[in-house]
């Protein structure tokens, strides 16, 4: 099942002015410190000063029931107000609600309009979601190449799911010319950061020799790492490889997994 991504984060003023915004970041800091009422004041001030994200974050509080009773209808109102003023976060969240028919009419076209508008503004989650819409043909004409373009946009911001979807696209030749080497490069980015799917794909690549020289020791090691992170398919592969490796190679594979350390995506890009 595909999982679409959404960011987290009294009446909200409808007046908007152009300004340099400092209140929303202060609100996020207050929220992280556990000061919900202070966060709401900052978000309100930010929205009053022209930062549409202020209404999004207040809406998020209503949706999650943080510091207030959970009120989805109020959240929708706030997301709508923020989306109208150009908040990519609100456009993405409201778009997902239209996609799923949550307290609004289910409307794939409206969902695509909102989500892909947010993607055009540079939001990584929205770009990933817009890519999924093009891949599935929901609200837009199905277009695998457009899906890849949006995933590439998100991948450039180290969006893990987008990088994995790019890897799958290159592995299967969907929307791009098939390239096992490029697929391997993408899975290496997420796998080396500790993502279970990326690790599993690396294990399969080393087992098959697709995009990299075959290496059953590394295949076992990466499968072992993915299995430890809950991937049942990786556990099956690891156990299959157990029977194919000599005692010495199995010890080497387990040593590889034991000594392996994840490299965060932002560090790997440096």
Q: What is the DSSP code string of 75-118?
A: HHHHHHHHHHTT-HHHHHHHHHHHHHTSSS---HHHHHHHHHHH
Do the beta carbons of residue 149 and residue 121 sit within 8 Å?
no
Domain spans in the chain, listed from the N-terminal domain onward: 182-270
**10-residue block means of pLDDT along the chain (270 residues)?**
42 30 82 90 90 93 89 94 96 97 96 98 97 98 98 97 98 98 98 98 98 98 98 97 97 98 74
Q: What is the rounded CA–CA span in Å between residue 260 and residue 164?
A: 20
First-last CA distance in the chain: 33
Q: What is the rounded CA–CA span in Å between residue 270 and residue 28?
A: 27
What pLDDT was estimated at residue 268?
53
Classify burial at 17, counting beta carbons within 10 Å of its beta carbon; exposed 0-12, middle 13-18, buried 19 or more: exposed
Integer CA distances (angstroms), 126 to 18, 27, 153, 158, in order: 24, 22, 10, 13
The 8-class DSSP code of residue 128 comes to H
What pLDDT was estimated at residue 68?
85
Which one, of 62, 170, 82, 171, lies nearest residue 123 by Cα?
A: 82
Q: What is the rounded CA–CA span in Å between residue 82 and residue 34?
A: 24
What pLDDT was estimated at residue 267?
62
What pLDDT was estimated at residue 181?
98
């Amino acid at each position: 099942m595909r999982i679409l991504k959404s960011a987290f984060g009294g009446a909200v003023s409808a007046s908007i002015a152009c300004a340099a915004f400092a209140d929303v970041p202060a609100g996020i800091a207050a929220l992280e410190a556990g000061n919900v009422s202070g966060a709401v004041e900052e978000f309100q001030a930010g929205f009053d000063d022209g930062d549409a994200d202020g209404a999004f974050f207040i809406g998020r509080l209503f949706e999650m029931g943080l510091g207030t009773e959970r009120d989805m209808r109020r959240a929708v109102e706030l997301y709508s107000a923020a989306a109208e003023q150009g908040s990519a976060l609100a456009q993405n969240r409201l778009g997902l609600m239209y996609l799923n028919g949550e307290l609004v009419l289910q409307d794939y076209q409206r969902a695509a309009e909102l989500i892909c508008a947010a993607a055009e503004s540079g939001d990584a989650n929205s770009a990933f979601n817009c890519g999924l819409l093009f891949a599935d043909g929901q609200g837009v004409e199905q277009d695998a190449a457009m899906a890849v373009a949006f995933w590439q946009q998100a991948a450039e911001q180290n969006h893990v799911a987008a990088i994995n979807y790019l890897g799958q696209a290159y592995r299967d030749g969907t929307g791009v010319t098939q390239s096992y080497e490029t697929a391997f490069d993408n899975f290496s980015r997420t796998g080396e950061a500790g993502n279970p799917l990326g690790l599993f794909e690396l294990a399969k690549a080393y087992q098959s020799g697709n995009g990299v020289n075959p290496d059953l020791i590394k295949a076992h090691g990466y499968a072992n790492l993915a299995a430890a992170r809950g991937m049942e398919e990786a556990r099956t592969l690891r156990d299959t490889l157990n029977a194919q490796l000599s005692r010495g190679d199995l010890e080497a594979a387990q040593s590889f997994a034991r000594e392996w350390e994840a490299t965060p995506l932002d560090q790997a890009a440096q």
